[in-house]
Copies of this chain bind each other. A is one copy, B any other.
Amino acid sequence: MPESPLPPGSTIGILGGGQLGRMLAVAASQLGLRSHIYSDEAATPAFDVAAARTVGSYADMDALTRFAGTVDVVTCEFENVPAETLEAAARVVPVFPPVRSFAVAQDRLIEKDFLTSLGVQVAPYAPVDTLEDLRAALARIKPPVLLKTRRFGYDGKGQISIRAADDAAAALEAIGQVPALLEGLVRFEREVSVIVVRGQDGELQFYDAVENVHENGILAISRAPARISLSAGVAAKTIAGKIAEALSHVGVLCVEMFERTGERPELIVNEIAPRVHNSGHWTLDACLVSQFENHVRAICGWPLGDTARHSDALMTNLIGADAEKWRALASEAGTSVHLYGKTEARPGRKMGHVTRLFPKS
């Protein structure tokens, strides 16, 4: 079943050229592998650290086929890649993670149905295609609730909160009358996420759960490890492993959860991302083998690397103008500065991150 590993000197193809592609390419280089980046943008962060670059549309099947012909495996740094794009590459070389992981993660309804089928707890939800659907759903799942587009949501985009049943029509209008999902609001103590990596031979490795703080729908801070109980930590990893196995996933997968404490502590899965994830950036500085290297190892059929944490970590995103503080941040002790090489610091844009290390707790 597992293919023989791609030897050093092989080339990985990465669809997408953002900071995740950039950090994947760097991790690949550490293992003696080359990267070829495919992006629909002419100037993009990953191009600066890649052995080869292709600028092309994700709908250009000829360009994708040529690209796939130059590499030994294809992976992806963003989850909203069209299925046809992955399939075009997969006709030429192996593609990891598998297409199914993307299909599930791209559609909130398929995702929720899939998680429910695994016995994983999710927020109450209902599909919404029409105003009638929405009204019926609101009768069952009481406001305040969230109305989310089924597809193409990330960083808080494609969602709106509904505070009263009367707001139904306006909310459906606001998200563009597209197929949607109504989601009950989960009251939680904290947001946690687990980065799991699964190899081609089914080997599973986990990084310790981290605790995340979002601001304006965008990840602001990850704290490793999360301040949760040992049993909650094991439960979080068990859920992530179950999902990775059910998808026959290969590579890194991030599972975001809400922790509800109380008499019976619960973990409610919010969403999954079939890729390296912002809440795993701390692994670059606090682990011997980062999420990026382990993703590369998995897609290349290598043995997975050690996910143990040598230090505790606090990762803070640099959003928009935050990156202007680079000089002050660079002079802080115990701090590692990561900048993504983006020239324009638009508001809400992830420009970099800093990791602060602390002795292991």
Contacts and interface: CB of A to CB of B under 8 A. Distances in A.
A48 B34 contact: yes
Nearest to A7: B326
Interface string A18-35: 000010011001111111
Given A8-B323, A31-B339, A343-B9, A306 B334 contact: yes
Contact of A335 (B5, B32, B288, B337): B288
Nearest to A5: B327
Given A32-B352, A337-B31, A357-B288, A330 B310 contact: no
A32 B341 contact: yes
A208 interface: no
Interface stretch (A99-107, A109-117, A297-305): A297-305
Contacts of A25: 49
B8 A330 contact: no
Contacts of A334: 288, 306, 308
A346 to B, nearest CB: 15
A139 interface: no
Contacts of A29: 22, 26, 48-49, 341
Nearest to A307: B333
B51 A51 contact: no
A340 interface: yes
A341 B34 contact: yes
B327 A306 contact: no
A341 B9 contact: yes
Number of copies: 2
For this complex, into which size category does the number of interface residues on chain A fall?
Answer: 35 or more
Interface in A324-348: 326-327, 330-331, 333-343
Given A9-B341, A49-B49, A288-B285, A310 B31 contact: no
A258 interface: no
Interface in A44-75: 47-51
A338 B30 contact: yes
A168 interface: no
Contacts of A51: 47-49
Given A49-B50, A49-B51, A306-B334, 6 more contacts: A25-B49, A26-B26, A48-B51, A288-B357, A302-B330, A303-B331
21 contacts: A22-B29, A26-B29, A26-B49, A29-B49, A30-B337, A31-B330, A32-B340, A34-B341, A35-B48, A47-B51, A49-B49, A49-B50, A285-B288, A288-B334, A288-B336, A302-B327, A303-B330, A305-B336, A305-B337, A306-B334, A308-B333
